[in-house]
Amino acid sequence: MSGAEEVFNFIDGQWQKPGGAAGASILDPATQEIIGNFTNSSERDVEAAATAASNAFSSWRNTPVVERIQLLQNLLFFLRSEQDALARIITRESGKTYNESLGELKRAFENIEVACGAPTFSQGTFSEDIAPGIDEIMIRQPVGISLIICPFNFPSMIAFWFMPYALACGNPVIVKPSEKVPLTMQTIFRLIEKVGFPKGIVQMVQGDADTVDQLLNHPVIKTVSFVGSTAVAKKVYAQATAHGKRAQCQGGAKNPIVVMPDADPEMTIRILADSAFGCAGQRCLAASLVLPVGEAIDWLQPAICRAAEERIVGHGLDEGVQMGPVISPASLKRILALLAEGESAGARPLVDGRNAVIPGYEKGNFIKPCVVDHLQADGKLVQTEIFGPVLGILPMDSLDNAINWINQSLYGNMASIFTASGSSARHFRHEVLAGNIGVNIGVAAPMAFFPFSGWKDSFFGDLHGQSEDAFNFFTQKKVVIERWKDKWSRQF
């Protein structure tokens, strides 16, 4: 990528300049260099996309599923062929390291692979002779036009939690990328264009919150898939369902990791540091709080502090860098404000990554890893999703107390335990109120053939992204009860 790229919509098979007002420039988070010029979509753009999708729906739903997945397989080929270039764009736009960007793309590819199982997963059921001469059939049919609203932290992956499943099930798709990172999805859509989907089947509409409102309110859109903060997830879910739409909205998190005294120290610290500081802490499965039980604090605290101090921070495309910047100056300012507020309430920074200066990248949105203890249980550092490389230490005197503390949280995205005891692990996984559980795992991210779960204020809806949940979300069940005059038995 060289120079500042213009942002476009992809509507009805054509690239179009958005017709709305100019937005903020797209900046490389490590350098503050302008890499793109953003323009919002207009109401006319939204209407054009909705109309094109509506016009295309009938022919797409009647396209045999084996033909639909052949197009997805072609897309997978193009994406894999361009993964190096895509990873570099992700890093330039979001700030994560090149290897983290490649990892994100791999997860996107896996979801396309699973979605290509649609000929099996979208099958219905059949019961013969529920009464004399009468059969009953359940068939799955597409729901309708599907809207996908994406966050900034995974510019490629999260759209693919939903998009390939919706397409495989016969639904046209409209993708609304985050206005902070629109260039990655724009590049992906140039590959989608090469695949040859029919016009109106896969579209992209750029825009901010106003564009989201217009899309949510449009009557032709039938399903909404969203990932973002809890506050926005609640709003999107309420607005979508108020307009009669099926919705799945993934919210925020405050992920705890319990460390038992019998945990393997070397493995635990390595995985814990990757979980807390990977992607600069900007992921919904990042470790936010570590809960050492009993004497585990004696070895955990000094070791995690060393790991935080040794983490190499810089531009994600530079050799050896382990952590990049946060997404924006506003995000950096918010993280710093939360740390300052926590410190004024008595929190103690054991590793203080504030005022980070990275040679050659002095203008970047950099904060180095932070480790904080002496936390107030009701303070913001404990209760708020920081979305930055900040790990709080909250000691516990027993596993049951740790579980009770986790279960009182408003969030329920992920919780993990590090232990050598199968009994402790089983007790933890059975009792903890969270949708994704890790045992000696720091980022309990489900594979594409499992649903990406989430409980409490971390998710709004009943069917999650990925796997069988996605096939259920993007299809609706029709039950047919039929009787024919039987010339063999002469029954009617």
Respond yes or no: is residue 284 known to be catalytic: yes
The residue count of the chain comes to 492
Helix axes 265-277, 296-310, angle to 10 degrees: 50
Query: Which one of 150, 284, 305, 370 is the catalytic residue?
Result: 284
Name the token pair of 113: 């692979």
Name the token pair of 179: 């206005």
Give the Å distances, CA to CA, from 57 to 166, 167, 220, 471. Answer: 12, 11, 11, 18
Instruction: Output the CA torsion 189→60→176→477 (10° steps).
Output: -140
Name the token pair of 73: 């397989």
Task: Kindly state the helix (H) or strand (E) to which residue 96 belongs, with its residue range.
Answer: none
Task: Kindly state the helix (H) or strand (E) to which residue 82 belongs, with its residue range.
Answer: none
Q: Report DSSP letters for 423-472, one per residue.
A: HHHHHHHHH---SEEEES-SS----TTS-B--EETTEESSS-BSHHHHHH
422 touches 315 (CB < 8 A)? no
- SS in 3 state form for 275-321? HHHHHHHCCCCCEEEEEEECCHHHHHHHHHHHHHHHCCECCCCCCCC
CA separation for the pair 384, 337 (Å, rounded): 12
In a 3-state reduction of DSSP, which class is residue 208?
coil
Sign of CA dihedral 465, 316, 76, 79: positive
CA separation for the pair 45, 199 (Å, rounded): 15
Q: Please state, as a whole number, how many other Cβ atoms lie within 10 Å of the Cβ of residue 451.
A: 20
Long-range contacts formed by 436-442: CB under 8 A, 24+ apart:
436/285, 438/257, 438/414, 440/263, 440/264, 440/267, 440/268, 440/271, 440/416, 441/271, 441/416, 442/257, 442/271, 442/272, 442/274, 442/275, 442/276, 442/287, 442/416
- Catalytic site residues? 284
